[in-house]
Amino acid sequence: MTVDYSPGLGAALPKASQALRQLSFDQSRALALAAVGLAVLLAVPFFLIDVPPVLDYPNHLARLLILAHPDTPGLSSMYAPHWAILPNLGADVIGMLLLKLAPVHVAGRLILALALFAPVLGVNLYSRVAFGRWSWWALASGLAAYNGVFLMGFMSFLISVGLAFAGAAIWLVLSRRGGFWLSGVVGGAMMALVFFCHLFGAALMGLLIGAQELEGLLSLWRSNGRPPYAEAARRVALLGLVLAPTLILFLSCGVAGTAAAPHGWDGRHKVWDLFTPFMSYDKSLTLVIGAIVFAVIILGWRGARFAPGARLALALCAVVYILEPDALKTGSFVDLRVGLILGLMLFAGVQPRIEPRYALACGLLITVLIGAQAGVVAYRWADHRTDLADVRAAIATVPQGARVLVARGHPSPGSGPAPAERLLPGVYQTDNHIAALVAIERRAFWPLIFADPRQQPLVIRPPYAAIADPQADPVNWAVLGTPGDHAFELANANYLKGWRAAFDYVLLIDAEGAGPPPPGLQLLYAGSYARLYRTPRRT
C-alpha cells in the first residue's frame, strides 16, 4: 500500500514555520527582558552609598569637581585646569559636564556607572554586528561588569574599551558595505575619539579592525590560490588612513616622549590576573566564576563560531599579555587591563557551542553568578558606609584652604586586619584615596590629587606643588613617627620634607592598631577607622 504524505507535509510546514517565528520572537523578547533585568541588578549598589570603595574614584572625583568649577573658593588657589592633548580624558570631559548639571556625588556615580556599563554595552553591540543577532553569551558579559579594573577605578580606560568595541562594530558594518573614503574617515574619527578616552582603547580598536582586515586577506588568498596583492595594498592604505590621526595625536602628547621604563613582570601574578574580568572583594567567588566561565568556553570551543578576526585578535592579545610588564611608560597595572580585555573579547568575538540540553542549565548558572557578584558588591559597599562616615566626622572641622597630609595605618595588603571592602584580593587596597573628601567636601588642600600634566588636565599651583605628589600613596604612619628608621622612604618623598611646618593637619586612615602619633601632633578626633591631628604649624 502506498501512503501519500504530501497533504500532511504541506499542512505541517506552515505550522513549523510559524512555531519557529514565534520561538524567535519569544527569544528576542526574553533577551530584551534579561538585558533590562541585568541593568537593574548591576545598578543596585550605586543606590547604597554616595562614595563607593573604588580605589581611584574619590581622587578622580576631586579633579572632576575642580575642572567643572575652576573658580571654587579655596580650591582655585591650589589647583588649575591644564587642558592638553592627552590619551586619558574620557572621564574628565564627560564627568566635568555632568558636574555642571548635577550635585557632585550624583554626577560622580553617574560617570562611575557609565564606566561599569560601557564595556558590557560595547561587547553586546560588537557581538550583534559580528554574528547578526543578539546573543545570550554576549549578555553573560554582565559577569565582567564588576571586575578588577572597575574596582581599581580606571574609569577612562573602561569607557574607552566600550567605545573600542563599538568602533570595531561600526568598522565591520562599513567594511561589509564597502566605500573606501567613508570607511577611512569614519574609522579614523572613531579611533581618534577612543584615543582621547584612553590609549589602551585605541590600541584595542586597532587590534580588532586590523585582525578583521588580515583575516579577510588570508581568506582571499585561500580562495584564489594566490596572494591578493592589489587588495592588500588597498586595505593597508585604508588602515593607514584610519590610524594616521591617532598616530599624529599620540606623537603630539606628553606620553610619547616619556621613557618606556618597563618593570614588574611576574608570572605568578599573571595567572591570578587572568581572573581580572571576574574579580570582586571575595576571592573565592572570583575563582568560582572564573573557573565556570573558562570551563564553558573550553567545553564549547569545538564547533564555536568566531567573529571576523577574533581568533587572530585573541592570539595576539594573549601574546601581549604573556610578554608585557605590569607597568609601562605612565601606565600601571597593565596586566589587569589586558587581562580584562582578553576576557571581554571571549564574550564579544566567540560564540561557544553548547549542547541544547546544557544550555538552560548554563544560563541559569550564569544568572545566579551575576546575582551573587552584584550581591557581594552591594554588601561590601553598604559596609563601607561606616568608614565613610568616620572620615567625614574626622574632617568635619577642617577649614577651607587648610593643608591636610594623609597617612595610612596599614601601608600594604595583609599588613593588618581590614574589612573586605578595603581590599581587592591579591591586587591592592581600595580605600587609598578616600581622603580626597577633604578637597571635595571641605575645599582643603590634599597633596595626592591626580594632577600629573602627562596624564591629567590639572596642575597644582605654587607654592602647593612643592608639598604634593600626584603619584604617591598615603604615607606609612610609621614613617612619620620614626623617620630615622625610614630614611629611604623619606628620601624618595620630597613633599614630606618639613611636613610639620608645611601641613596644618594629618588625617590617619585605616587607623586600627596603628602606633602612637609622631611627637608634636594634637589629637582632634579619634574614630575606629579615621583620626585627625593638628600639627605644630596649625597650633
Q: Give the pLDDT confidence score for residue 9 in this predicted structure.
A: 37
- Residue 335, pLDDT score: 93
Strands, E, within 36-91: which ranges? Answer: 79-81
For range 492-512, the mean pLDDT: 90
Q: How confident is the model at residue 11 (pLDDT cuts 50, 70, 90)?
A: very low
CB 351 within 8 A of CB 135: yes
pLDDT tens column, 342-359: 999 999 999 998 887 777
Asked if residue 156 has pLDDT above 70, the reply is: yes
Beta strands 423-424 and 428-429: pairing type?
antiparallel
Average of pLDDT values for 57-73? 96
The CA distance from 218 to 515, in Å, is 65
pTM (2 decimals)? 0.92
The amino acid at residue 500 is R
pLDDT tops 90 at residue 263: no
Q: Are 352 and 359 in contact (CB under 8 A)?
A: no
- Segments making up each domain of the chain, as ranges: 51-64+84-354, 381-534
Helix, strand, or coil here: 429?
strand
Handedness of CA 176, 178, 180, 186 (dihedral sign): negative
Whether the per-residue pLDDT at 423 is higher than 60: the answer is: yes
> Taking a C-beta distance cutoff of 8 angstroms, is the pair 304, 241 a contact?
no
| Three-class secondary structure of residue 199 per DSSP | helix
Residue 361: per-residue pLDDT: 83
Q: How large is the average pLDDT for residues 399-417?
A: 81
- Which H/E stretch holds residue 283? helix 283-301
Instruction: Characterize the bridge pairing of strands 404-408 and 475-476.
Output: parallel
Percent of the chain with pLDDT over 90: 70
Average pLDDT over residues 143-157: 97
Mean predicted confidence (pLDDT) in 385-410:
96
User: What's the mean pLDDT when you consider all of the chain?
Assistant: 89
For residue 327, the model assigns a pLDDT of 78
Condensed to tens digits (0 to 9), the pLDDT of residues 308-332 reads 999 999 999 999 999 988 877 667 8
Q: Tell me: cis bond preceding 463? Omega within 30 of 0 counts.
A: yes
The tens digit of pLDDT for each residue in 428-452 reads 899 999 999 999 999 999 999 999 9
Q: Where are the alpha helices (DSSP H) in 198-282?
A: 199-224, 229-252, 267-273
Bridge partners (DSSP) listed for residue 522:
534
Give how far Cα 433 sits from Cα of 61, 68, 385, 446, 531, Å. Answer: 10, 20, 15, 10, 15
Q: How confident is the model at residue 105 (pLDDT cuts 50, 70, 90)?
A: very high
**Is the predicted pLDDT of residue 33 greater than 60, yes or no?**
yes
Q: Which amino acid is at 178?
A: G
The most confident of 1-5, 38-42, 325-329, 513-517, by mean pLDDT: 38-42
